């Protein structure tokens, strides 16, 4: 059984993951309109993953006798200055999510909730990967220095990353 304190903290995380999903969806839509199909598909896939992260938390809370709450969300920005602006936003967002997961893990130890602590390890690992990927993308874009030709190749790279991620995340039939 979850304590009220842990249940509330998990519900905050549910909201943060859902907000991540919405933000990446808005970024994907913006990139698609700019003709950046690779970037758009990568971000659509990322948005789907974040929704899965939120749902996974909802199910865990319910399984442990709590109630996972579906949040109402603030609309994310619809327009972005550049692809660099988008990926800097992704990195900032992921850093915030990592911090929030760390605080949750800390709270679980303080409250001696080892089951939730164990469940959260999956998120800890996931955040290492996501932060590192976001950082690599920002580094690449900085290296390109806003060159249009380089952006074509960046978009192609993103398409290659998006394809395996999309098939790996397909729900099992």
- Name the site residues for ligand OFO (rule: CB under 6 A): 17, 20, 50, 53, 94, 97, 126-127, 130
Q: How far is the CB of 142 from ligand OFO (least distance, A)?
A: 21
Nearest to 123 by CA among 7, 8, 14, 6: 14
Contact yes or no for 138/88 (Cβ under 8 A) = yes
Which structure tokens are listed for 116?
């939730």
Residue nearer to ligand OFO on the CB measure, 17 or 113: 17
Q: How far is the CB of 169 from ligand OFO (least distance, A)?
A: 12
Residue nearer to ligand OFO on the CB measure, 34 or 165: 165
Contact yes or no for 54/17 (Cβ under 8 A) = yes
Residue nearer to ligand OFO on the CB measure, 52 or 115: 52
Which structure tokens are listed for 107?
């709270």
| Sole residue written with tokens 């758009």 | 40
Q: How far is the CB of 154 from ligand OFO (least distance, A)?
A: 21
> Distance between CA 159 and CA 164 in Å, rounded?
9
Q: How far is the CB of 87 from ligand OFO (least distance, A)?
A: 14
Residue nearer to ligand OFO on the CB measure, 26 or 151: 26
């Amino acid at each position: 059984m979850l304590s009220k304190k842990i249940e509330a903290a998990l519900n905050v995380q549910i909201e943060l993951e859902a907000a991540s999903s919405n933000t990446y969806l808005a970024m994907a839509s913006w990139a698609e309109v700019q003709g950046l199909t690779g970037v758009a598909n990568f971000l659509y896939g990322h948005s789907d993953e974040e929704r899965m992260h939120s749902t996974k938390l909802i199910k865990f809370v319910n399984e442990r006798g709590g109630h996972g709450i579906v949040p109402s969300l603030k609309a994310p920005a619809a327009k972005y200055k550049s692809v660099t602006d988008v990926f800097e936003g992704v990195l900032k967002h992921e850093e915030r999510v990592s911090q929030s997961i760390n605080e949750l893990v800390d709270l679980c130890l303080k409250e001696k909730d080892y089951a939730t602590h164990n469940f959260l390890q999956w998120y800890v690992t996931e955040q290492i990967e996501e932060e590192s990927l976001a950082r690599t993308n920002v580094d690449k874009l900085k290296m390109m220095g806003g060159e249009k030709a380089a952006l074509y190749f960046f978009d192609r790279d993103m398409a290659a990353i998006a394809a395996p991620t999309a098939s790996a995340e397909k729900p099992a039939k």
